[in-house]
């Protein structure tokens, strides 16, 4: 299955073309607030360098977040437009799940955590499953919670699973910042730089596993995974509430 995959939920703008387990091309830029101008050129370059005509694509996989509201809108709009134009099925992939899978961990817990500001994170916890994407169990679905709450969830899962002696791999743009606050001691292992932000090859592998389970959707069914209201929405509601008092 030849797949075009992309993710723009974080500071990374990443695009890949895969064919089964073979990575044909991957391009990743970490240029904040430039996704709108960089994404389509990266898509075109990835297709060209992989020798893939748009009509050759069997699936488009796109990261649906959680993450940057603006970034998600750009990525999803691009994926929808391509899928409509090419009449290609698509699949939405949790950015947190793809992050965890991208660490390549074979066992133990992997915690994906993206900075949601003010001491809060978007997080998911996964039981590592190695190379097979469908062997990764989701123990905590994508959640918006405080770092202290995340620490409690991790502690509870380690006790329940008997994993107290195993390392816990942390990935995502909040991993380094909050590693100590999770109170894991020497068990905390921050993923290497290449696995801290989403990679499109991982989105492709997770997306392919979902497609094999029949989870493809029509382009208009793709939707971002928002776990909280945007700052603009929050401010608007606060002003509206004040004006009606």
- Percent over 90 (pLDDT), the chain: 89
Where helices occur in 29-174 by DSSP H, the ranges are 35-49, 69-86, 95-102, 147-161
- Cα angle value 103/106/110 (rounded, 5°): 50
Note the pLDDT tens digit of each residue in 115-166.
999 999 999 999 999 999 999 999 999 999 999 999 999 999 999 999 888 9
Asked whether the beta carbons of 102 and 130 are under 8 A apart, the reply is no
- Is pLDDT larger for residue 228 or for residue 77? 77
* Residues ≥6 apart with Cβ < 8 Å to 216: 59, 89, 90, 91, 210
Asked whether the beta carbons of 79 and 65 are under 8 A apart, the reply is no
pTM exceeding 0.85: yes
- Percent over 70 (pLDDT), the chain: 93
* Residues ≥6 apart with Cβ < 8 Å to 240: none
Buried b (16+ CB within 10 A) or exposed e, 141-163: ebbebebeebbebbeebbeeeeb
The lowest-confidence range among 86-90, 94-98, 162-166 is 162-166
Q: What is the 3-state secondary structure (H, E, C) of 174-219?
A: CHHHHCHHHCCHHHEEECCHHHCCCCHHHHHHHHHHHHHCCCCECH
């Amino acid at each position: 299955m030849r797949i075009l995959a992309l993710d723009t939920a974080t500071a990374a703008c990443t695009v890949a073309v895969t064919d089964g387990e073979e990575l044909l091309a991957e391009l990743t830029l970490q240029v904040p607030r430039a996704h709108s101008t960089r994404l389509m050129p990266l898509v075109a370059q990835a297709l060209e360098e992989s020798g893939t005509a748009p009509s050759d694509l069997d699936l488009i996989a796109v990261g649906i977040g959680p993450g940057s509201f603006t970034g998600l809108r750009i990525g999803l709009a691009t994926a929808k437009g391509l899928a409509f134009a090419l009449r290609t099925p698509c699949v939405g992939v949790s950015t947190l799940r793809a992050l965890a899978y991208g660490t390549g961990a074979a066992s133990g817990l992997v915690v994906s955590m993206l900075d949601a500001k003010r001491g809060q994170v978007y997080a998911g916890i996964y039981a590592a499953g190695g190379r097979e994407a469908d062997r990764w169990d989701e123990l905590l679905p994508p959640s918006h919670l405080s770092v202290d709450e995340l620490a409690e969830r991790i502690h509870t899962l380690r006790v329940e699973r008997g994993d107290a002696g195993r390392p816990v791999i942390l990935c995502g743009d909040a991993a380094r910042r909050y590693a100590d606050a999770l109170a894991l001691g020497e068990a905390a292992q921050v993923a290497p730089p290449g696995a801290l932000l989403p990679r499109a090859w991982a989105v492709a592998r997770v997306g392919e596993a979902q497609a094999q389970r029949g989870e493809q959707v029509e382009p208009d069914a793709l939707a971002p995974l928002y776990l909280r209201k945007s700052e603009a929405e929050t401010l608007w509601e606060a002003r509206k509430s004040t004006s009606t008092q």
